[in-house]
Amino acid sequence: MGPPATSVSGDPLTQMNTYRSYVTVLADPGAKDEIKLKAVQELSENFEVIINSAQYPQFLDHSIKIFLKILQDGEPHFISEYNIQQVRKLILEMIHRLPTSETLRPYVKNILILMLKLMEIENEENVLVCLKIFMETHKQYRPPYNPEVDIHKFLQWVKGIYSNLPNHLPKIFEPRPPIRVKDLSEVNIDQLLLETFTLTPIHTEKKLVDGTAVIYNLIPKSY
């Protein structure tokens, strides 16, 4: 499938069908990450139009299931520049932007369950969005007790973050020499993450067209 159009015009129903097609692109396992990023960028840029449309409930039902499946089935990534990381972050940000209305209520339980799961495995940037989603959604809807959405589990996770913080402080604040490699493929990301607690640039010998060196940014785990 080719890249999505850069603009959407026509009657509201046609517009919404186009936005739904972007969501379908995200769900297509055969679509390249670059194409998925363009699709999710179009959705994000037009999100206010989408949520104010008369077809929003139908769009929500179609999209939220796909959004949650992508986040659940996909692996977390820790290089900021990867297209798939940007896709995941934009999907989370769109979930955070969903209006807290009765239209969203049927999906709240699944959203909260997934946010708890992602907070344990995602990179720090995405976890910050997960935290906002979980806290604001839980506060707004006050869901009945469910062991899968246990607020105490969330509080234990937060407590664990603060309990481990003293052990990580030296590595957070001590100067680190720049990471320089010929190519990103040489880097053992899993090993680096064990000692990375702040956004860390990785300098490579690759060059852009203008001669600028290519630099990637390693995002730490949420710990």
Task: Please indicate, yes or no, whether residues 144 and 197 belong to a single structural domain of this protein.
Answer: no
Whole-model pTM: value is 0.88
For residue 50, give the CATH number of its domain: 1.25.10
Task: Find the DSSP H helices in the chain.
Answer: 12-27, 33-45, 47-51, 56-73, 83-97, 108-121, 124-141, 151-173, 189-193
Determine the pLDDT at residue 158: 74
Is 5 domain-assigned?
no
Task: Please indicate, yes or no, whether residues 211 and 153 belong to a single structural domain of this protein.
Answer: no
Determine the pLDDT at residue 3: 52
Task: Please indicate, yes or no, whether residues 201 and 165 belong to a single structural domain of this protein.
Answer: no
pLDDT in tens, the chain (223 residues): 555 655 555 688 899 999 999 999 999 999 999 999 999 999 999 999 999 999 999 999 999 999 999 999 999 999 999 999 999 999 999 999 999 999 999 999 999 999 999 999 999 999 999 999 999 999 999 887 676 776 777 777 777 776 776 776 666 667 778 899 999 999 999 999 998 888 999 999 999 999 899 999 999 998 7
What is the spatial distance between Cα 203 and Cα 39, in angstroms, rounded to a whole number?
29
Task: Please indicate, yes or no, whether residues 48 and 124 belong to a single structural domain of this protein.
Answer: yes
Task: Please indicate, yes or no, whether residues 166 and 96 belong to a single structural domain of this protein.
Answer: yes
The amino acid at residue 207 is K
Task: Please indicate, yes or no, whether residues 49 and 149 belong to a single structural domain of this protein.
Answer: yes
Task: Please indicate, yes or no, whether residues 96 and 201 belong to a single structural domain of this protein.
Answer: no
Is 123 domain-assigned?
yes
Determine the pLDDT at residue 172: 67
Strands 213-218 and 200-207: antiparallel
Task: Please indicate, yes or no, whether residues 97 and 134 belong to a single structural domain of this protein.
Answer: yes
Determine the pLDDT at residue 160: 74
Tokens for 53?
């449309």
- Domain residues for the domain of 186 are 179-218
Task: Please indicate, yes or no, whether residues 125 and 108 belong to a single structural domain of this protein.
Answer: yes
Task: Please indicate, yes or no, whether residues 169 and 65 belong to a single structural domain of this protein.
Answer: yes
Is 2 domain-assigned?
no
